[in-house]
Structures are given as C-alpha cells and as structure tokens.
Amino acid sequence: MTTAGATVQTVKIDAGEKISARDKLLAAAAALMTERDTVDVTINEVAGRAGVNSALISYYFGGKEGLLTALAMGAARVAVADLDSLMAMRTTAAIKLKHHIAGIINTFYAYPYLNRLLWALMRDTDSASARQLSNEFMLPVMRVQKALLEEGAATGEIRPTDPMLFFFQSMGACEYLFSGAFALKLVYGVDRIDDDLRRRYVAETTALFMNGYLTKPPA
C-alpha cells in the first residue's frame, strides 16, 4: 500500500483536482460496466476512460477492489437513505411496501451493474469488502424490510411472513430484469431497458407484491 503522501508527490495533484479525478474514475468504471454488461474491467481501461493517470486508482482506492467497493457503496448509500426516508413516511404499511418494491427496481435501473458488483465483491465472505457491503447495505435493507413487514402484520395489512425469505424474493424479482438482460435481447430482441419498460416492470412487480402480501386487495 502506497501512503497518500508519497502518491501525492508522485502524481502531482492538488486538492481541487483530487475530488474531480476521484469522481471521474468512479463515473468511468460505472460507464464501462454498464456498456459492457460485465464488472470485468481493468485498471487501465478505467483510467483511460477517465482520462487520468492509472496510479490515481491506487491513490484514491488502494487498488481495483477498493474502486469497485467505492462504486457499490455509492449506490448502496443512496438506496439506504431512500429506505430510511420511506420508513419515516406517515403512511400505511401497504403504501410503504409498494414504494419499497418500486425503489428496489429503480435502484437497479440507476445502477445496472450493482448486483454483479455485489456478487464479485461478496463471494469471498471473509473479505473486508464483503463485510462492509454486508454491514452497510444488506443488513440495513433487511432491517428495514423486517420493520416494514412487522408494522404491516401489526396493523393487519400484511400477512405474516419470513423477512429472510422476503429479502431474496424481493431482490430477485426486482433485479433479474437487469442481470438477465441478455435474455431480453436474445428472446425478445429488446436491446436496452428504457424508461417505459422500467415503468411497466414497476407496475407489474408492485402489483405482484401488493396482491401477494396484502391481506386486502390493493385499491
């Protein structure tokens, strides 16, 4: 590991450039992963796309895994903040369930590489990346889902269910459109997931979970 001070001297950057180059690297990695439908990108490809020296990846992120973790955590922080806002809303558990399902789909629409990043970074469950993503993303999502399901069960709106199994059902049903986009292309000739398709998937999948879990059919 290079110390920050040593790297600053080597690549000659100042504080103003630092912020910009870091964001450029994250944006470049996101763009490459989205275009290529894979998280297998090299440090040189990311630096080349960002138009910055590849040494900056070590400087800002400590290496490629750090860059990928920072990218995943950026998406995770947005998703967890949205979830916290949702839970704080003064509305019924049924409406929260609907917004939550739509929110998962919208997260994967905004970050189509997110699920593959999670797989790549969490497969080694002993790694620091896996622990961070587990503690700061998976765990908060599961905690909010559990609270939402318990709130709905208490008011009689949602039939009692196992929050652990609900996590896999909801994540899977919402994200497979994105990670399985190859099937969209091969079987249906649909090359990209546009906003119209996103809206239709939100409508059909919120309906599945509302009908699937509410004790009374949605209005």
Kindly identify the residues of this chain, within the stretch 101-160, that bind a copy of itself according to CB under 8 A: 118-119, 122-123, 125, 130-131, 134, 138-139, 142, 159
Near a copy of itself by CB under 8 A: residue from 164, 194, 199, 218 = 164
| Cβ at position 42, least distance to a copy of itself in Å | 17
| Cβ at position 206, least distance to a copy of itself in Å | 10
Non-local CB neighbours of 175 within 8 Å, separated by 6+ positions = 104, 105, 108, 114, 115
Distances, alpha carbon 28 to alpha carbons 8, 21, 62, in Å: 21, 10, 17
Near a copy of itself by CB under 8 A: residue from 38, 42, 91, 155 = 38
By CB under 8 A, the count of residues binding a copy of itself is: 49
Residue type, 23: D
Q: Is 53 in the site for a copy of itself (CB under 8 A)?
A: no
| Cβ at position 123, least distance to a copy of itself in Å | 6
Secondary structure class of 59 (helix, strand, coil): helix
Q: How far apart are CA 55 and CA 47, in angstroms?
A: 8
